[in-house]
C-alpha cells in the first residue's frame, strides 16, 4: 500500500495517460477502420486494393515495429518535432484500425444484399447507401467484437510507456528502478487496467442494450 500512497501522483498521471492515449488512438482507429471497411466493400477496384493492402500490412506487422517506425522514421519524413503522444496515437490508431476494419466489414456482410439493391434502385449513391442504410443495421452486430478490440487496445497502450509516453507501464518501470517490490507495483497497475477495461466493457454492453431495445 505504501508504494501507492507515496507515489500517488505518479500513478494518477500514469492512469490518466493510459486513458488519454486509449481514447485518442481508439477514436482514430474507429474513424480509419470504418473508412477502410468502406474501401474494402467499395465497387471501385483501386479502393478495394488499398483497403486490402492496409489490413494485410498492419495486421501482420508487430505493434512494436510500428512504434519504432512512428518514433524514428515518421519524425524524419513527415512530422518533425511531433510529441510522443502524437506518435504513439498514430502507431496505436493505425494498428488497431485494421482490426476495426475487419469487424466492421463482417458486420456489413450480415446486412442482406437486398437492402443495398433497394437503396440503389432509389438512386442512392454507394456512399449514401453505406452511411444511411448498411452501417446503421450493421452497428449492433459490430459492437461485441469492437469491445474486445478496444480492450486489447488498452493493454497494447503499455508499449507507449517504453517510448517516453507517461502511462501506467512507465510508472511501473520508474518504481521498479527505485527498488520497490515488483509484485506490489504490478498489482496496482493491473487493477488500474482492470478499471479501464471494465469501463469499456460496461459501455459497450450499455450500447448493445440500447440498440437492442431500439431494434
pLDDT in single tens digits along all 215 residues of the chain: 566 666 677 778 888 989 999 999 999 999 999 999 999 988 889 999 999 999 999 999 999 999 999 888 888 887 677 888 999 999 999 999 999 999 999 988 888 878 778 888 888 888 888 888 888 888 888 998 999 999 999 989 888 888 878 787 777 777 766 666 677 777 778 888 899 999 999 999 998 888 764 44
Contact 31, 60 (CB under 8 A): no
Determine contact, residues 12/6, Cβ cutoff 8 Å: no
Q: Which of 135, 147, 133, 128 is nearest to 107 (CA)?
A: 135
Residue 210, SS3 per DSSP: helix
C-alpha neighbours within 13 Å on the C-beta side of residue 80: 2
SS3 20: helix
Burial tier of 104 (Cβ tally within 10 Å: 0-12, 13-18, 19+): buried
- C-alpha to C-alpha distances, 121 to 44, 52, 114, 115, 125, nearest whole angstrom: 19, 28, 10, 10, 10
Q: Which residue has 501522483 as its cell numbers? A: 9
Read off φ and ψ for residue 7, nearest 5 degrees.
-120, 35
Distance set, CA 17 to CA 27, 57, 175, 192 (Å): 15, 28, 17, 12
pTM, two decimals, is 0.87
**DSSP, residue by residue, 182-200:** HHHHHHHHHHHHHHHHHHH
Q: What is the pLDDT of residues 178-194, one digit of tens each?
A: 666 677 777 778 888 89
Pick from 199, 198, 201, 175: nearest CA to 187:
175
DSSP-based three-state secondary structure for 1: coil
Q: What is the pLDDT of residue 202?
A: 92
Amino acid at each position: 500500500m505504501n508504494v501507492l500512497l507515496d507515489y500517488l501522483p505518479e500513478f494518477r498521471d500514469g492512469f490518466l495517460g493510459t486513458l488519454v492515449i486509449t481514447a485518442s488512438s481508439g477514436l482514430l482507429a474507429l474513424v480509419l477502420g470504418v473508412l477502410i471497411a468502406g474501401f474494402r466493400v467499395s465497387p471501385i477496384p483501386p479502393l478495394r486494393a488499398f483497403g486490402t493492402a492496409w489490413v494485410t500490412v498492419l495486421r501482420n506487422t508487430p505493434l512494436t515495429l510500428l512504434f519504432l517506425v512512428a518514433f524514428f522514421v515518421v519524425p524524419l519524413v513527415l512530422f518533425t518535432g511531433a510529441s510522443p503522444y502524437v506518435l504513439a496515437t498514430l502507431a496505436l490508431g493505425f494498428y488497431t484500425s485494421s482490426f476495426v476494419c475487419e469487424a466492421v466489414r463482417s458486420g456489413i456482410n450480415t446486412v442482406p444484399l437486398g437492402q443495398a439493391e433497394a437503396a440503389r434502385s432509389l438512386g442512392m449513391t454507394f456512399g449514401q447507401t453505406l452511411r444511411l442504410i448498411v452501417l446503421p443495421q450493421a452497428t449492433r452486430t459490430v459492437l461485441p467484437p469492437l469491445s474486445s478490440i478496444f480492450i486489447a487496445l488498452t493493454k497494447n497502450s503499455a508499449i507507449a510507456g517504453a517510448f517516453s509516453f507517461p502511462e501506467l507501464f512507465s510508472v511501473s518501470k520508474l518504481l521498479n528502478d527505485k527498488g520497490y517490490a515488483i509484485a506490489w507495483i504490478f498489482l496496482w497497475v493491473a487493477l488500474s487496467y482492470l478499471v479501464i477495461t471494465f469501463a469499456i466493457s460496461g459501455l459497450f454492453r450499455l450500447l448493445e442494450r440500447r440498440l437492442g431495445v431500439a431494434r
